[in-house]
Amino acid sequence: MSKNKQIKPEQKAPIKGPAIKAPIIANPAIFTIPKPAMWLALAAVVVYLTSLSFGYTDLDDSIFIRDFQAYNEDLHNLIASFGRGLFDAAKDPYYRPLFSDSMIFNYQLSGTNIASYHLVNILLHMTTVVLLYKLFLKLEIKELTAFILALVFAVHPVLSQAVAWIPGRNDTLLAIFVLSFFLFAIDYSNTGKIKDLALSATFLLLAFFTKETAVFAPPAAFILLVFVLNKNWLDKRNLLLYGKWVGCYLVWFLARHLATTASSGIISAEGFSQALRRLPVVIQYLGKIFFPFNLSVFPTQRDTVYYYGIAAVIVLTLITFLYKQRNVKIILGGFGIFMLFLMPALIVPDILNAETFEHRLYLPVMGILLVLSQTILFNNGLNPKQLFITGIVACGVLTGINIYHQKSFADPKSFWAQAAETSPNSAYATMMLAARLDKDEIARSEELFRKAYQMNPKEKYLNFYMGDMLQKKDSVAASEKYLLAEKGISDYYQCDFLLARVDMERKDFNGAIVYLLTYLKRDPKNGMANNNLLLLYIQTQQPDKAREHIKQMQHLGLEVPVSLMHQLGM
DSSP code at position 94: -
What gap in Å lies between CA 199 and CA 354, rounded to an integer?
A: 36
What gap in Å lies between CA 419 and CA 274, rounded to an integer?
A: 24
How many other C-beta atoms are found inside a 10 Å radius of the C-beta of residue 148?
A: 25
> Cα 398 to the chain's mean position, in Å?
20
Q: What is the pLDDT of residue 438?
A: 77
What gap in Å lies between CA 414 and CA 512, rounded to an integer?
A: 38
Secondary structure (H, E, C), 159-189:
HHHHHHCHHHHHHHHHHHHHHHHHHHHHHHH
DSSP code at position 22: P
With contact defined as beta carbons under 8 Å apart, do 224 and 132 qualify? no
DSSP code at position 88: S
Minimal CA–CA distance to 163: which of 60, 72, 47? 47
Minimal CA–CA distance to 87: which of 119, 59, 124? 59
What gap in Å lies between CA 136 and CA 351, rounded to an integer?
A: 38
What gap in Å lies between CA 478 and CA 495, rounded to an integer?
A: 14
Q: What is the pLDDT of residue 29?
A: 56
Minimal CA–CA distance to 157: which of 325, 336, 294? 294
Q: What is the pLDDT along the chain (570 residues), one digit of tens a residue?
A: 333 333 333 444 444 444 434 333 344 456 789 999 999 999 999 999 999 999 999 999 999 999 999 999 999 999 999 999 998 888 788 899 999 999 999 999 999 999 999 999 999 999 999 999 999 999 999 999 999 999 999 999 999 999 999 999 999 999 999 999 999 999 999 999 999 999 999 999 999 999 999 999 999 999 999 999 999 999 999 999 999 999 999 999 999 999 875 654 445 555 567 778 889 999 999 999 999 999 999 999 999 999 999 999 999 999 999 999 999 999 999 999 999 999 998 888 777 778 999 999 999 999 999 999 999 999 998 999 999 999 999 999 999 999 999 999 999 999 999 999 999 999 999 999 999 997 888 999 999 999 999 999 999 999 999 999 999 999 999 999 999 999 999 999 999 999 999 999 999 999 999 999 999 999 999 999 999 999 999 999 999 999 999 999 999 999 988 888 888 887
For 139, phi then psi, to 5°, come to: -85, 10
Q: What is the pLDDT of residue 25?
A: 35
C-alpha distance from residue 253 to each of 208, 246, 264, 346 (Å): 9, 10, 10, 21
Strand positions, DSSP E, 421-487:
none
The contacts of residue 6 (CB under 8 Å, 6+ apart) are none
Q: What is the pLDDT of residue 567?
A: 85
* 379 phi-psi bin (left φ>0, alpha ψ -120 to 50, beta other): beta
C-alpha distance from residue 35 to each of 38, 41, 359, 399, 427 (Å): 6, 10, 29, 21, 49
C-alpha distance from residue 307 to each of 278, 304, 314, 321, 361 (Å): 17, 9, 11, 21, 19
- Diameter of the chain measured on Cα atoms: 130
What gap in Å lies between CA 230 and CA 329, rounded to an integer?
A: 9
What gap in Å lies between CA 429 and CA 417, rounded to an integer?
A: 8
Q: Provide the total of helices (H) and of strands (E) in the chain, helices listed first.
A: 29, 0
What gap in Å lies between CA 252 and CA 215, rounded to an integer?
A: 10
With contact defined as beta carbons under 8 Å apart, do 205 and 255 qualify? no
The contacts of residue 353 (CB under 8 Å, 6+ apart) are none
pTM of the predicted model as reported, rounded to 2 decimal places: 0.89
